[in-house]
Amino acid sequence: MSYAPDGEVLVTTSGTEALFAACQALLNPGDQCVVLLPAFPWYAPAVRLAGAEVVPVAMRAPVPGRAGDGFRPDLGELARALDGPRVRMLVVNSPHNPTGACLSRADAEAVAALCRAREGLWVVSDEVYDHAVFGGREHVHLSALEGMRERTVVVGSASKLLWVTGWRVGWALGPAAAIGAMQAVHGYVTFCAPVPLQEGVAGAIESGEAERYARETAAAFEGNAALLVGALGRMGLRGHPPGGGCFVVADVGASGMTDVEWCRAALEAAGVGCVPLSAFYAGAGEGADVPRSLVRIAICKTRATVEEAAARLEAHRGGLGSRT
């Protein structure tokens, strides 16, 4: 997809600001925004700060042994959620944080069909990991599908593309009406991303170095994921091979511990920091079926770091592995 630099592109101080500006610009108090859970924890606060309400929709459970097929959108539940009279926005994230799941073309087409059937619905497509897809998969841009360009805001981030997390340069791409409204918000939030950093990011993209680096990091992350999934398997635990992104989800239920308990034990015994996946279900509501046996482990590290983390976990398999 191509966008006009004047009117359809907004450079922001991080992808996080782009998300915030989209919510402030496109949601009104009393509106609702559908969010697929688990989700990046910044979505819900951005929606609420706009005076809107989060409508959570849990994604379907992963299929054992099928890379990238886990945590798919439940299209029936999504359709029912989008039918709400106050729903004005849907947030989609692929490749996904925290699970590493990628929207297949079939699922993306199905989501697009649901969106096209709902007049006035905005879609925020968080694609900050679009360069990190594994196994020859295709990254499907929702905005490129029929009838989606005029209703979709795409969020990107140099922090993820170039792994310069401290630079805080992001962007939003979309129709002029949405980008213009977001520009107004941006002007009262940070006003301008640091110009020297913008120049550096632009130079990397224009020279082709960003594309080369993205390919290299994607290959490295895919290798890290395979290494970590193998180590978990030897511990009697199940790692879900990701379709892309920066994380592996491990099912630690066989250890006899909850996600929080296992993460605490991994940190105290092995010195390895992980995150309970239940932390990514903010806004699920009382009585929601939040999984308590899944943890997120980062693969966006050097090979040596991931090897050491895997070795440390395996060395403590007696306390962290399967109890069977």
- Give me the pLDDT at residue 11, please: 98
Q: Are 186 and 36 in contact (CB under 8 A)?
A: no
Q: Are 126 and 212 in contact (CB under 8 A)?
A: no
Whole-prediction pTM = 0.94
What is the mean predicted confidence (pLDDT) over 223-245? 97
324/138: higher pLDDT: 138
> Tokens 């993306």 correspond to what residue?
108
- Give me the pLDDT at residue 63, please: 60
Query: Residue 61: is its pLDDT beyond 90?
Result: no
pLDDT band at 260 (very low <50, low <70, confident <90, very high): very high
Hey, which residues does 57 pair with through a beta bridge?
36
What is the mean predicted confidence (pLDDT) over 214-222? 95
- What digits encode the pLDDT tens for the residues 277-300? 999 998 787 767 899 999 999 999
pLDDT band at 64 (very low <50, low <70, confident <90, very high): low
- Give me the pLDDT at residue 176, please: 98
H-helix or E-strand spanning residue 51: none
Nearest Cα neighbor of 93 from 53, 44, 136 is 44
Name the token pair of 76: 């029936």
Q: Are 224 and 258 in contact (CB under 8 A)?
A: no
Nearest Cα neighbor of 239 from 103, 40, 99 is 99
- What digits encode the pLDDT tens for the residues 16-29? 999 999 999 999 99
Task: Verify cis geometry, omega within 30 degrees of 0, for the bond prior to 38.
Answer: yes
102 vs 85: CA distance, rounded Å: 29
- What digits encode the pLDDT tens for the residues 149-182? 999 999 999 999 998 989 999 999 999 999 999 9
Handedness of CA 204, 206, 207, 212 (dihedral sign): positive
| pLDDT mean across residues, the chain | 94
3-state secondary structure of 123: strand
Burial group, residue 315, by CB count within 10 angstroms (0-12, 13-18, 19+) = exposed
273 vs 268: CA distance, rounded Å: 9
- Give me the pLDDT at residue 69, please: 57
Burial group, residue 2, by CB count within 10 angstroms (0-12, 13-18, 19+) = exposed
DSSP state of 278: G
What is the mean predicted confidence (pLDDT) over 203-231? 96
Domains and CATH numbers, the chain: 9-207 (3.40.640.10), 212-320 (3.90.1150.10)
